[in-house]
Structure 1
Amino acid sequence: MDYQSDFEKWKERIEARPLAEVKLPNQPIDEVTASAETLAIEAIKDKDEFTKAGMDITIIEDIPSLSGAVRYCQAEWMSEYLARQDAQKEWLEKSPFAYQQHDELLHNFKFAYRNDPDILTKVMRINNGNGHVDMVQDLIELAVLGEKNPKPLREIGYKTTGLKDIKTLSHNMAELLASSNGSTNDSSKVKLLRDKAFTLLSERVSIIREYGRYLFWKDNSRREKYYNNYKG
């Protein structure tokens, strides 16, 4: 069974986990899942002892598929996280050009429409703001304004055919900015699923370890198999 199938098997139970009960991983997920899978291999050898002690053996049997679900959620979260990192890098590379075009538009528009109070007022209104979102919006609004009032721009030698490119630039930068901002760690639904899946796995691992230490308290070699090698 692949990790996505594992996730589909656990999806409803993962999503249903109350937010108040969610635990955050304090070790790398690959270490956590590998440890859980190794624990399950050891515990299944002692399934008769666990059953006699009153533990539901399905807790052990759950581990492989639940661990796979955790791995799947982690991969999805890392894909989202890395995509945002790439977008942020691309924004840093491309935004200086967008800001340059923004400033040149304003410079040309203020001069071209200097004798038209109504249009100049619109230009100044568009320029009333700051920040990335405002810059992206200014580009599209200025381009539309210029297309509707091309004559003064042409009179000062401004090539209005380039306004189409400005509209495309605004659209592209808006998409890039959205990807760059993305979901923060605290708001990402994908990360929350990962944390919920980890919580389910962590709980089962803790139960197995607890029973194992109880059962093999006089058998040092077996008892060691049930001690935590991470804080889960």
Structure 2
Amino acid sequence: MTDEQDLQNLLNEINAIDEADIKKPAIPFEIYIYEAERLYTRASEDLPKLTAINMPTDLIDNLRMRTNALRKAQLNWVELNNDKKKANADWKAAKPELLKLHKELIQSFQFAFRNNEVAMQKLSKIKKGRSMDDMLMDLCSLSVLGKDNSKLLEAINFDLSLLDRAAETSERMAKVKANKNARLYFQDDMLIIRNKAYTLLKECVDEVRKHGQFAFADQPNIAQAYASKYRREKKREYLKKCKLNKSVTKNEPSTP
């Protein structure tokens, strides 16, 4: 069964978790998933001893399925973030062109239409907006206004191809902006599913680890396989750093 299938099969169980009960990981998601995979392999090997202390056999199957589900949920979240970054980058890259074209059209129209009261009134209405959404609409409106008054523009040697370009830019940039905004709308849902999938997996990981640590309490080398290697190494680094700082402080000359 694929990770996607496991995620879909567990989706009702994942969504049933209350947001107030969501757990926050103390380690990076990728590392937690890797450790859950290692735990599944170890616990599968030790299954006879674990079931001997009354660990439910379906706990191992749940561990595998929930690990796969979280892996897929995390991948979905990472891909969404990447898409979001690309959408933002696309918008940022195209924005200067929009602003430059908008400014060029406004300046040219103001000069070309200066003696045409009707055209100037229409131009004034178009210029009222200040937001980026307004500017997108402006380009389309300016294109129409320019074509309706093309003779006035030709009189100042205006490049009429800019009118089609304005309409095309408006349509293209509207799609870029819509894509950027769409990524924001999906963000919260993806994040919540990922975090709930982690919470569901954590219940299973914690339970398997408790059984493993009890079953191999007299075999420390095996028992440590039922604990987080990442957190163990982080703790070792922290203690080493504390010891080093203490040693430096001790060796510093005291001030008279």
TM-score tier (shorter): 0.7 to 0.9
TM-score after normalising by structure 2: 0.77
Deviation larger for 185-194 or 10-19 = 185-194
Identical aligned residues as a percent: 28
Deviation larger for 145-154 or 167-176 = 145-154
Q: Answer yes or no: is the 8 Å Cα contact 1:36–1:205 preserved in 2.
A: yes
Deviations 1:13-61 (A, max 9, x none): 2233322222344433321111001111222333344445444322221
Count, aligned residues: 231
Deviations 1:200-223 (A, max 9, x none): 112211121123223333332332
- Quote the Cα distance in structure 2 between the aligned partners of 1:21 and 1:127: 51
- Quote the Cα distance in structure 1 between the aligned partners of 2:193 and 2:136: 33
Q: Answer yes or no: is the 8 Å Cα contact 1:185–1:191 preserved in 2.
A: no
Moved over 6 A (4+): none
- Return the offset for 1:102: 0.6
Two-structure CA RMSD over aligned residues (Å): 2.6
- Return the offset for 1:165: 1.9
Alignment-derived partner of residue 7 in structure 1 = 7
- Return the offset for 1:186: 9.1
> After the TM superposition, which residues 70-85 of structure 1 pair with which residues of structure 2 at under 5 Å, given as runs?
70-85=70-85
Deviations 1:86-133 (A, max 9, x none): 232233322212211010011112222223334323322322233433
Q: Answer yes or no: is the 8 Å Cα contact 2:80–2:187 preserved in 1.
A: no
TM-score after normalising by structure 1: 0.84
- The one-letter code of the counterpart of 2:227 is Y
Alignment-derived partner of residue 138 in structure 2 = 138
> After the TM superposition, which residues 1-232 of structure 1 pair with which residues of structure 2 at under 5 Å, given as runs?
1-184=1-184, 187-230=187-230
Alignment-derived partner of residue 244 in structure 2 = none
Unaligned runs of 5+ residues in structure 2 are 232-256
Q: Is the alpha carbon distance of 1:21 and 1:177 closer, same or farther for their aligned partners in structure 2, counting shifts above 3 Å?
A: same
Deviation larger for 14-23 or 69-78 = 14-23
